[in-house]
Amino acid sequence: MIKKVLLSGAVINFALVIIGGIIGALLKRGIPDRFRKTITHGMALCVLFIGITGLFQTTKTNPLVVILSMAIGAAIGELVDLDRLINKLGDKLGKRFSGADEKAFSKGFVTATLVFCVGAMSVVGSIDSGIKGDNTVLYSKSLIDGVTAMVFASTFGIGVAFSAVPVLLLEGALTLLAVAVAPVLTTVVVNSMAVVGSLIIIAIALNMLELTKIKIMNLLPAVFLPLLLCLVL
């Protein structure tokens, strides 16, 4: 019973991403290509705003922890090549479920997965859910993600809805992890994780604006490293 309560935030987020993704995919059919590109760039600016806002909303962080987390996390991600693996998964799903629109499916799946999983609200909300049993942040995030999924899917298609699965897995895992490691989750640890996540969100926006080609997924391990580095430092 306790686990059901703890994971309710992640489950609601999962459901609203699916609903938003399906609605957006249905709307996609009536949007001309030139509108989709402009909408994509508009969404990129919104993602950039989310990332920057996340940076300035978190205080009491350790800059050294953030820097080391990014450096070590990037090295780990590059070693495993998570970016290749997630894109390969997106391509496989695209071939199976989207027919001729495989690239759009894969791009929608990967982009939405990163935006919905990496942000400060995902980290802080999951930790609050696990430690306090408070799902307020995750419920708020769920509403935002549902609307964002609808807009993303109107550009990229149904692949966005499939990002609900990684959202459920990551937020569920973070929630349960928070229960297990509650004593070490100090304000500095949580805020450092949120800052790293916000930096990655900004990188996603730059890729969406076609200004960079950063391998975003290879930076993902950095989000979890503050847990270890704060103990060491």
**With b meaning 16 or more CB within 10 Å and e meaning fewer, what string describes 85-115?**
ebbebbbebbeebbeebbebbbbbbbbbbbb
Question: Which residues lie closer than 8 Å to 70 by C-beta, 6 or more apart?
Answer: 196, 199, 219, 222
CA distance 162 to 90: 9
Residue for token pair 């992890």: 177
* Digit-coded pLDDT (tens) for 190-223: 888 888 888 888 888 888 888 888 888 888 889 8
Given a cut of 50, the residues of the chain with pLDDT beneath it are: 1-5
Q: Residue 4 has what pLDDT?
A: 47
Measured between alpha carbons, how far is 124 from 59 in angstroms, rounded to an integer?
A: 13
Query: Tell me, what's the pLDDT at 18?
Result: 95
Q: Would you state the pLDDT for residue 2?
A: 45
pLDDT for the residue numbered 95: 76
Task: Give the pLDDT score at 22.
Answer: 93
Q: Where are the alpha helices (DSSP H) in the chain?
A: 2-6, 8-28, 33-57, 63-80, 82-97, 102-118, 120-132, 136-156, 164-180, 187-208, 226-232
Q: Is 206 exposed, middle or buried (0-12, 13-18, 19+ CB in 10 A)?
A: middle
Q: Which 3 state secondary structure label does DSSP give 58?
A: coil
Range of the domain at 16: 2-232
Q: What pTM was estimated for this model as a whole? A: 0.75
- Domain tally, the chain: 1
Q: What are the phi and psi torsion angles at 202 (to 5°)?
A: -60, -40
Task: Give the amino acid at 88.
Answer: K
pLDDT given for residue 15 in this prediction? 94
